Structure 1
Amino acid sequence: MTASSGTATGRASMIERLAARIVLLGGWRRALLAVVAGALLTFGLPPFNFPAVGFLSFPVLVLLVDGAAGAPDRGFLRRLAPAFRIGWCFGLGYFVGGLWWLGAAMTVEGDAFLWAIPFAVLGLPAVLAVYFGLAAALARAVWSDGAGRVLALAASFALFEYGRARLFTGFPWNELGVLAAPSPLFMQSLELIGLHGLTLLAVFVFAAPVLLLAVGGRPFAVVALVLLVAHVGYGAYRLGTGPAGTVPGVSLRVVQPNIDQGEKWDAAEAERIFDRLLQLTKRPDAGNDAGPPPPAGRTLVIWPESAFPFILTERPDAVARLADALGTGETLLAGAVRLDASPGAEPRYYNSVYAIDENGEIVAAADKVHLVPFGEYVPFEGFLKNVLGLRQLAELPGGFSAGAARQSIALPGLGPLLPLICYEAIFGDEIAARGERPAAIVNVTNDAWYGRTPGPYQHLRQAELTAVSLGLPLIRAANTGISVVTDPYGRPLDGLALGSAGTIEAALPAALPVTPFAKWGNFMFWIGLAGTATIGIFAAVRDARVD
């Protein structure tokens, strides 16, 4: 035996001993390691973007579930309880580590919502962790000592992440597939399999190192390596096809005013805020009589979510000033609070986007359909609001009402633009189900609630992934950042940093042909999930027979 082979054997033996110690952990040590492994996984999310941590966190999870065997004389569900606890602890670490910044929103209104910080920072993650607990328990139901358990874990987590995106209004924030897409190179597979498919791929590939310790696991480890290479290679191929091109005669001006959330609805600050928006809206050469003429064609000016610090339709003077600020051929797409005050009915408020032409006329509007629970409305209002006295963060009587249906905004000379307000942009499945194909996604948002935390970075990434899966450019206007214009491959063409004020001047990127995901939705995901689950079950049966 050579020295090098002896060293390699020693390292392998050390890894096997470490793995055995993890399997044999019990009690609070097992739970603590699961929490730490889940929390470590959040370093793969924006703004850190170090997905390699997945190759440590998921093998640890597999080993912990290996040791989470219930007593054989107990009922079926009670035998799965230890695996549920491990998955729940793993999820608690992941969601606390990935969502702790939600507590920042509770400090905006002074001490009015400080009591809610524990619920936002710990309560919501504890609820979301149930999905991970159920995923671990379901996988444990067909567990084995070989490769089948990794396939079962990938299929189970993908299934429950799909459920997290839908159940109880859905909350797919930081779905595990996000870990596998830290940059445009790693995003391109989304056009084929969507984010849920990427979750299936990510869990299998990240957990694959543990296959090297299993009997008969090496062929599956090779498959995982091939899938990883294919994922990266497809990205390189797509990005190597060249720029997507631009829409002739259409330019963009994205406005980021950087308004502090504590001042946004302060009546004393309303005029100053509106003045800032108008100043940023004017063409850079508008005050120079000797400057060049306005560019030919159409200019889209985009303001962020709820940009107007008042109800626009109640301020004809503001409409007139807005018309003065817009030049010839310019149309404003702006987030606004829309008031529906029908006679004899309670007033209803909508979180909307207005299209306003150069004459100051509102030519189109689209309402937000997917509202933020507790941010814009109180779910189970009869109990939580009327009995417990909970209220939403939005400072409106009764909160916002949801729009009846998602609407595109059609402007002369353009295909339909799809306005997505705030976190609507993370629900790619809902958009893929639409029959009408937009020319671009216009995402208006206000991340000032969360300050300089990971929240705005995570929000941007998920909007980018939705746009790439659909093959559409993304035009994003955020109050305090991060505003950006990306091409349909997810490559940023220009942007503004978090906490800065200014404008983006860019051409409108052209959309790509309809992607498989845009055409078929999650069809490829279901095929992959069924195949993974089937192979995992057969592998588990084979492993049981070998034992």
Structure 2
Amino acid sequence: MNRPLTGLRGGALSAGEAVRTGMAPPARLAALAHRVALTSGWRRLALAWLAGAAGALAMPPFGLLPALVPALVAAVWLLDGAASGTGRWRRHLATAWTAGAIGWAWGFGYGVAGLWWLGAAFLVEADRFAVLMPFGVLGLPAVLGLFFGLGFALARLLWSPGWGRIFALAAGLAVSEWLRGHLFTGFPWNTLGMALGQQLWLMQGAAWLGLYGLTLAAVLMAAAPATLATGRSPGERRWPALLALAGLALLAGLGAWRIPAGPMPEVAGVRLRLVQPAVPQDARFNPRNRDGILQHYLGLSDSATSPQSNGLVDVTHLIWPESAFPFLIQRDPKALAQIAAALGPGRYLITGAARADEPLPGERLRFYNSVMVIGADGTVGAPYDKRHLVPFGEYLPAPVDRILRTLGLSQFVAVPGGFTAGEEGRRRLAVPGLPPVAPSICYEVIFPDEVVGEGERPGLILNLTNDGWFGNTPGPRQHFAQARLRAVEEGLPLVRSANTGISAVVDPYGRVTGSLPVGAEGVLDRRLPRSLGEATVYARFGDLFFVSLTLGSILLAMWAPGGRRRRRASGAEVEEGTGSD
């Protein structure tokens, strides 16, 4: 039996009864919701795919926050129509399975539209990797779609008519997005909370809630207008959307209040120079280019940026990006001597570089993706070794390693045996003249709970990366946006050097004090902003508030009016307000 109106608190009314009582939602909107809820088969999955793809427009570099509204409103209406099966438990399982399929299609569309640029990496060495491009462009989004499928299924198990289902969807997606960021090494790229993590006022919420708390808030706000097409009274239809607007205004208002009027004070005596060399990716790892690449770095580093500039004489700390050299710098005394001569007294180079350790008897040489500090005397300080390696980029996961090598395939970065992860735990990088440094290499910076870690509070976040694999696409811009949000979460300045951009200095409120665009070659001279005097709420308590809000959303979904009646029902399962049964 098809029900003409969905999500009604007291069960379904016929269209005629609703019109006679003056309680009908806008006719066209109600008809649209009803039609979406009643889709089935491939049309349902296609609609979910398109809705998810539209939601990706809320991510960088577009940042169209309103795009998330139709994407999640459509998700609510599609889930309204997910009921199927007969019998109490069979109906539960069948409904959750249907909801999971809708969520997978939604997440697949979201992933393809938001991550298509990954295909550029397969074309850098097209003769080796172009054949695998479909697996990256479609395979990864298909796998990530499983997390969205789980979130939709969890939401449908909490489903009830009316406003309760908005909290059900928010809780389900909040849980699944957290799992996406942690399971199987994690991949919290384009987490839904980034829709609120780009505009300066709105991103301040991360200082309290973190990325996953912003995710819960973003889903609640964007999905709330779904009730405009349903509900037994005008109040039930309008209040969720009005409260969502009020919540958005409150978040923006608190953010505006939090940001000081003037610039942050600077760390005395620190003058940074960030180098963005824009070395072509296909030449970057070729050992034959070693001398040319090193001279290119040294020439840029000592360049005068204005008539008043004296090059490196005006700099205390020089910063080069990830994997700057196509050779092992710590084993090349000649190159170290050249760098030392260029630095001169009292200056330090912080650079990304591959390094190798001395193996034990019978072991192979182990390689690390590292951050090194080189002094004016050519000595290399204790390095930081990257812990969170990129699967298939820097190493091959053990279960597929042998299979792929049998086929003649390897990870993107051609290091014998792949990189080795650094030791457990996050330790600070000691750099003379700087406060304690929390280093991160490449995509390590997208993991909110790993950037700072345990121990002494640092004075800055350092991110060295090479986004040249992805060219002039949304990828480098998405990466920078996520790194920028870490500064707000932790209340720390961000210093970021990237081979092809975006290199930047960001203060603890997420304000960019200077940057170099994608594809540009050059240097950026900036002072180092101070960190906040006290750690942010998120820095002190982590995801505690996110967990509390998620549990609160689950309780609200369970105890919403329609949900209480359904749980009191005995015998056959009662599904009120679904699109079909």
Shift of residue 26, structure 1, vs aligned partner: 1.7
State the Cα distance separating 1:47 from its structure 2 match: 1.2
The worse-fitting range, judged by mean Cα deviation, of 418-427 and 321-330 is: 321-330
Matched residue, 1:13: 27
Within a 5 Å distance, the mapping from 1:17-416 to structure 2 comes to 17-73=31-87, 74=90, 76-215=92-231, 216-282=236-302, 284=304, 294-295=313-314, 299-344=316-361, 345-381=363-399, 383-385=402-404, 390-405=409-424, 406-416=426-436
CA distance, structure 2, for counterparts of residue 492 and residue 291 of structure 1: 24
- Say if 2:304 and 2:311, in contact at 8 Å, map to a contact too: no
Q: Deviation string for 1:213-257 (max 9, x for gaps)? A: 332354433332222111111111122453221101111100000
CA contact (8 A) 1:484 1:493 kept: yes
Q: Percent identity?
A: 45
Q: Please tell me whether the aligned partners of residues 283 and 327 of structure 1 are also in contact (alpha carbons under 8 angstroms).
A: no
Q: Quote how far apart the aligned CAs of 1:403 are.
A: 0.1
**Whole-Å Cα distance in 2 between the matches of residues 357 and 162 of structure 1?**
41
Deviation at 1:306, TM superposition (A): 0.2
Distance 2:214 2:306 in 1: 47
Q: Residue deviations 1:282-331, cap 9 Å, x none?
A: 2638999x969945xx7111100000121112221111110111133211
Letter of the 1:434 partner, please give it. Answer: E
Does residue 1:530 correspond to 2:545, yes or no?
no
Q: Out of 446-455 and 260-269, give the one that drifted further.
A: 260-269
Q: TM-score, normalised by structure 1?
A: 0.94
Unaligned runs of 5+ in 1: 1-8
Contact 1:146 1:543 in 2 (8 A): no
Partner of 1:5: none
CA distance in 1, matches of 2:312, 2:112: 53
Matching residue's letter, 1:464 = R
Once residues 131 and 336 of structure 2 are traced to their aligned partners in structure 1, the CA distance between those partners, rounded to angstroms, is 40
1:418 maps to 438
Asked if structure 2 preserves the Cα contact closer than 8 Å seen for 1:303 and 1:335, the reply is yes
- The worse-fitting range, judged by mean Cα deviation, of 130-139 and 388-397 is 388-397
Q: Which amino acid aligns with 1:306?
A: S
**Displacement, 1:410?**
1.7
Conserved? CA contact 1:145–1:543, under 8 Å: no
Does structure 2 retain, via aligned residues, the 8 Å contact 1:339–1:349? Answer: yes
Would the aligned equivalents of 1:34 and 1:87 in 2 still touch at CA under 8 Å? Answer: yes
Deviation at 1:18, TM superposition (A): 1.4
Is this contact kept in 1: 2:271–2:526, CA < 8 A?
yes
Q: 1:438 aligns with which of 421, 434, 458?
A: 458
Residues 1:53 and 1:369: Cα distance change in structure 2 (over 3 Å)? same
Partner-residue secondary structure (3-state), 2:390? coil
User: Once the two structures are superposed, what CA deviation does each residue of 1:34-70 show, in whole Å capped at 9, x if it has no partner?
Assistant: 1111001111111111111011110011101111112
Deviations 1:413-434 (A, max 9, x none): 4321111000000011123542
SS where residue 270 of structure 2 aligns? strand
C-alpha change, 1:340 and 1:329, in structure 2 (3 Å) is same
Q: Equivalent residue of 1:489, what SS?
A: coil
1:411, CA displacement in angstroms?
A: 2.4
In the alignment, which of 516, 520, 541 is matched to residue 541 of structure 2? 520
Letter in 1 for 2:304: P
Bigger RCO of structures 1 and 2 (CA < 8 A, at least 6 apart):
2
Q: Is the 8 A contact 2:493 2:530 kept in 1?
A: yes
What's the secondary structure of 2:518's corresponding residue? Answer: coil
Contact 1:307/1:335 (8 A) holds in 2? yes
Runs of 5+ unmatched residues, structure 2: 1-22, 569-575
TM-score if structure 2 supplies the norm length?
A: 0.88
- Tell me which moved more, 453-462 or 434-443: 434-443
Q: Which residue of 2 aligns with 1:473?
A: 493
